[in-house]
C-alpha cells in the first residue's frame, strides 16, 4: 500500500518564489544599477559636468514651481554636491535671488533634517562627507526637495545611494504637508527600468542636461 502524505511533496509546495527571495532579488538588481550609474557619472569629465550642471540649473529655474510669484511661500531644500553629483550652488544662488528660502540637509542618521542656509554662509563637513550648515541654523520643513541620485528611469523612479535617507525624509515630510520632489541627474544615469518597491515614491520631476521628465 502506497504511503499517504498529508501534504504534497516539498517540490510541489511553492508555486512562486518566497517573498523574501523576490525582495532580495530586487535589492540585488538595484545595487547593480546603483553601481553602474555611479560609475557612469564618475566617468564624465569635470568640464562636461560643469557645463551640464549649468544647463540643468536653467531647466530647473524654468519649472513653474519656481516662478518668482511662489517665492515667499516656498522653502526649497537643495544639497551641497559631493563627488560627481550635479553641482547645485549656482542654482541655489539664483533661487535665493528670486526670494526663495533655502535649506540644506544634515544627516542625523538614519534621518535627514533640513537646516536654513543662505548662499555664502559656511558649511561644515559631516557624515558621509556631506557638507551642511551649522547645527545652530534653524530647522525648516521644505516644500520642494532637490535631490541627487544614482539612477532614474523614464517613469521617474529613483535609486539613491542605498541608505534610505531621502525615502525616510519624503515619508516624514508628507505627513506634515505636500512636498514636490525633483531629481537632478545627468543623461548618462538613465536606465530602462527600475524595480519599484511598495515604499518607493516616484519623483515629481527628473531634470537632466537635455530634458525634463514630468507628468
Greatest Cα pair distance in the chain: 88
User: By the 8 A CB rule, do 79 and 105 touch?
Assistant: yes
Which pLDDT score is estimated for 190? 98
pLDDT at res. 202: 94
What is the set of domains in the chain, with CATH numbers?
Answer: 18-213 (3.40.50.10420)
Helix (H) or strand (E) holding 122: none
Q: Could you list the mean pLDDT of each consecutive 10-residue stretch along the chain, which spans 215 residues?
A: 50 51 75 97 98 98 94 95 97 97 91 95 88 92 97 96 91 95 98 84 96 97
C-beta neighbour count of 63 within 10 angstroms: 16
Burial class for 150, CB neighbours closer than 10 Å (0-12, 13-18, 19+): buried
Q: Can you tell me the distance from the alpha carbon of 114 to that of 112, in angstroms, rounded to the nearest whole number? A: 7
Distance, C-alpha 75 to centroid of its chain? 17
Beta bridge partners of 158: 152
Contact present, 166 and 130 (Cβ < 8 Å): no
Residue 14 confidence (pLDDT): 45
Grid coordinates belonging to 74: 516656498
pLDDT of residue 23: 54
Amino acid at each position: 500500500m502506497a504511503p499517504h502524505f498529508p501534504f504534497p511533496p516539498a517540490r510541489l509546495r511553492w508555486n512562486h518564489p518566497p517573498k523574501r527571495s523576490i525582495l532580495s532579488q530586487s535589492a540585488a538588481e538595484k545595487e547593480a544599477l546603483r553601481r553602474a550609474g555611479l560609475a557612469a557619472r564618475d566617468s564624465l569629465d569635470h568640464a562636461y559636468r560643469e557645463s551640464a550642471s549649468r544647463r540643468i540649473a536653467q531647466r530647473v529655474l524654468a519649472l513653474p514651481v519656481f516662478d518668482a510669484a511662489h517665492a515667499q511661500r516656498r522653502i526649497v531644500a537643495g544639497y551641497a554636491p559631493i563627488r560627481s553629483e550635479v553641482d547645485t550652488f549656482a542654482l541655489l544662488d539664483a533661487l535665493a535671488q528670486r526670494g526663495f528660502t533655502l535649506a540644506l540637509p544634515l544627516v542625523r542618521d538614519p534621518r535627514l533634517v533640513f537646516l536654513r542656509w543662505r548662499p555664502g554662509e559656511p558649511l561644515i563637513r559631516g557624515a558621509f562627507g556631506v557638507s551642511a550648515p551649522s547645527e545652530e541654523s534653524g530647522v525648516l520643513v521644505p516644500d520642494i526637495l532637490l535631490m541627487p541620485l544614482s539612477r532614474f528611469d523614464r517613469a521617474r523612479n529613483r535609486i539613491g545611494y542605498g541608505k534610505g535617507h531621502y525615502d525616510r525624509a519624503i515619508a516624514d515630510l508628507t505627513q506634515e504637508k505636500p512636498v514636490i520632489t525633483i531629481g537632478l541627474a545627468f543623461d548618462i544615469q538613465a536606465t530602462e527600468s527600475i524595480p519599484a518597491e511598495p515604499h518607493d515614491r516616484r519623483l515629481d520631476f527628473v531634470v537632466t542636461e537635455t530634458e525634463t521628465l514630468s507628468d
